[in-house]
Amino acid sequence: MALELEERGFDVRHFADAVTFLPALDQADDTDVIIIDWHLPKSSGAELLATIRRRGINVPVVVLTGRGIIPYENQAFQEGATDFVDKSKGVEILVRRLKRAANDIGPPRVSIHGKLNLYRRTSRAEWNGLNLDLTLGEYNTVELLVRNAGHYVCNRTIYDIMRTPCLAAGDGPEGYRVNVRSAIRRVRNKFRAVDPLFDAIDTYTAFGYRWRIEGN
């Protein structure tokens, strides 16, 4: 299949199983579409797909199967598949579906904000060209602040994007503020590890945080 896709203009990297594939996700910023088989050695396509999405990888994913039954298809879409293709339809149909999935780009590959680069397809962030090694929750927090640059975002909104919406934590109904404060501290420390002068995140005590617009 890889050879057939290459003959039709695709640049293909293929992997024998999930174990060899997962490390490659760290270099998936330029990937247009991921194809996974529903049946894999030692795992399933559904499990791999769920792992991809949990890691914050937003690249379109097309699932292939030799058994195009409705429960499989429903499960694939529930786990975040972009498309679900029966192998029996042949490579020409697959090519059309892959092109459609690749052209349905979704978030841009790179969003640039001064020294900050956000790689939205892989939930990766760089400051001055250096990888910040953010967790998915930390990346989501930074992206939220950047999307609202110049405006304070309340602690509850930050907590909801870090965790499950409306989940309280800590002591009392406002205990989640402690979690947010700790998360922001970790984020700042990661920025300062690559730039000791980093100061782009402002604090509004007891309310929230904002990403400062350059010059303000």
CATH number at residue 156: 1.10.10.10
Determine which helix (DSSP H) or strand (DSSP E) holds 44, and give its type and residue range. Answer: strand 43-44
Same-domain check for residues 118 and 48 = no
* pLDDT of amino acid 216: 52
Q: Give the residue carrying structure tokens 């298809």.
A: 73
Please say if the pLDDT value at position 83 is more than 80. yes
> Taking a C-beta distance cutoff of 8 angstroms, is the pair 198, 192 a contact?
yes
Mean pLDDT to the nearest integer, 191-201: 97
* pLDDT of amino acid 71: 87
Model pTM score:
0.76
* pLDDT of amino acid 68: 67
Same-domain check for residues 23 and 47 = yes
Q: Does residue 45 sit within a domain?
A: yes
Domain assignment of residue 130, given as a range: 110-211
DSSP structure string for 113-176: ETTEEEETTTTEEEETTEE----HHHHHHHHHHHHTTTS-EEHHHHHHHHSSTT---SSSTTTH
* pLDDT of amino acid 169: 61
Please say if the pLDDT value at position 174 is more than 80. no
Mean pLDDT to the nearest integer, 181-206: 96
Distances (CA, A) of 210 to 27, 67, 142, 204: 30, 49, 10, 8
Last residue of a domain, one of 66, 86, 103: 103
The β-bridge partners of 125 are 118
Q: Does residue 216 sit within a domain?
A: no
Same-domain check for residues 89 and 132 = no
> Taking a C-beta distance cutoff of 8 angstroms, is the pair 30, 109 a contact?
yes
* pLDDT of amino acid 3: 93
Q: How many domains does the chain have?
A: 2
Same-domain check for residues 117 and 38 = no
> Taking a C-beta distance cutoff of 8 angstroms, is the pair 53, 34 a contact?
no
Last residue of a domain, one of 61, 85, 103: 103
Same-domain check for residues 95 and 128 = no
pLDDT one-digit tens code per residue, 53-79: 988 898 999 999 887 678 888 999 999
